[in-house]
Amino acid sequence: MSGYVDLHSHIVPGVDDGSESMEETIKMLSMAYDEGVRTMYATSHFGSGKEKYDKTYLLEQLEKVKKAAADIGDEGIVILPGNEIYCRSDSIERLKNNEALTLNGTRYILVEFPYEIRFDDLFDSLKKFIVSGYVPILAHIERYGCLYKKYENIAQLKSTNVLMQVNCSSVIPKLDARASYIRKLIKDGMIDFLGSDCHSTDWRKPCMQSAIDVLKRKTGEKILEKMLFTNHEKLMKNEFI
Ligand SMILES: [Fe+2]
């Protein structure tokens, strides 16, 4: 597989607070293509109250995005299905019922929580996904108070097989005051995936290459290779990372 993988996006139009039209989606895809992205997960919100779709409509829209993405640039972008699942008491049941989507039908799920959640509650909820056979990837971990500059908490989650995703914009100093801490986590091999979490052409817009340019200056090649390519190859094969 060539090019970068964007694990987290709101590229499907008219289903959540992301892209509002197919026209906007195509502009976002072109920007992502120019940033080197060739695979993108469409992770529309699920369970957060931001979604405005039924699953049939989402899947129809997703098919349209797939077709449009195949025509972007010379190589096209491959769009894969998923959801950003806002953890609720019925999330596992809704996954089992195939209402919520795992990442490309694998055991991996992208999951988010209220940002003010207590660490113990976060840990317990994530463990429930694991016990039920899923591998949770915690979305934009930089946003949680119980993880920000709480290195030991992140290590504890990682030791139970929780994976970590950060947003591209969060490693760029001019875009995020937390950037140096996030870069340190990446340098230490604590982060497993990058995602744009793009919502539009200007709000959290695609900026994969800009983030990687910053990281290349300070992060070892092996760590970057794993975060950008190897981990995703394993995910696609449904193997454990
Ligand atoms: Fe998101």
Eight-class DSSP state of 98: T
Predicted local distance difference test score (pLDDT) of residue 205: 79
Predicted local distance difference test score (pLDDT) of residue 50: 85
Q: Which residues are CB-neighbours of 92 under 8 A, at least 6 positions away? A: 128, 129, 132, 134
Q: Which residues are CB-neighbours of 224 under 8 A, at least 6 positions away? A: 212, 215, 216
Mean pLDDT of the chain: 95
Please determine, for residue 126, whether its predicted confidence score (pLDDT) is greater than 90: yes
Spacing, Cα 54 to ligand 1 middle (Å): 18
Backbone angles phi, psi at 3, to 5 degrees: 80, 175
Helices (H) and strands (E) in the chain, counts: 9, 7
Spacing, Cα 207 to ligand 1 middle (Å): 14
Q: What percent of the chain has pLDDT over 90?
A: 88
Spacing, Cα 83 to ligand 1 middle (Å): 9
Distance of CA 22 to the CA centre of its chain: 21
Eight-class DSSP state of 198: B
pTM, 2 dp:
0.96
Q: Which residues are CB-neighbours of 180 under 8 A, at least 6 positions away? A: 173
Spacing, Cα 81 to ligand 1 middle (Å): 14
Hey, what domains does the chain have and what are their CATH numbers?
Answer: 4-236 (3.20.20.140)
pLDDT digits (tens, 9 = 90+) for 80-103: 999 999 999 999 999 999 999 999
Please give the Cα distance from 125 to 119 (Å, whole number).
10
Spacing, Cα 165 to ligand 1 middle (Å): 11
